[in-house]
Amino acid sequence: MKKRALVLVGAFLLAACTAAKDFSSPGLEPIPGSVTYGGQPRTKLTKSPPGSTFPHNFIDQWGRQVDETYMIQPDRSLKIVHREFRPIRFNR
């Protein structure tokens, strides 16, 4: 029974790794502080392959920490695929 479960988990992980990347959704709208706020950056990320992602963290105008994840599109533009807001915590 355990062997069957391991095979199923392995098959699921393999399918998840080989799934095609989705470039069709428009992504999230940029906010002040986003890399793409005010338009796409002038420089193109030429060494990173399309579909790769990278993080960007900043503090917004309301004092929240914003964690964004960008995906490089086939035309080398950037799309915001994830955004999370967190309150800033101060150590005492």
Q: What is the pLDDT of residues 36-69, one digit of tens each?
A: 999 998 888 888 999 999 999 999 988 899 999 9
Taking each continuous run of H as one helix and of E as one strand, the counts in the chain are 1, 3
Give 81-92 pLDDT, tens digit per residue: 999 998 877 776
- pTM here? 0.68
- State how far the alpha carbon of 4 is from the alpha carbons of 1, 17, 18, 41, 88, in Å: 5, 20, 21, 49, 45
Helix (H/G/I), strand (E/B), else coil: 46: coil
CA distance 39 to 54: 18
Tokens of 82: 């994830």
% of the chain at pLDDT higher than 70: 72
CA distance 16 to 86: 29
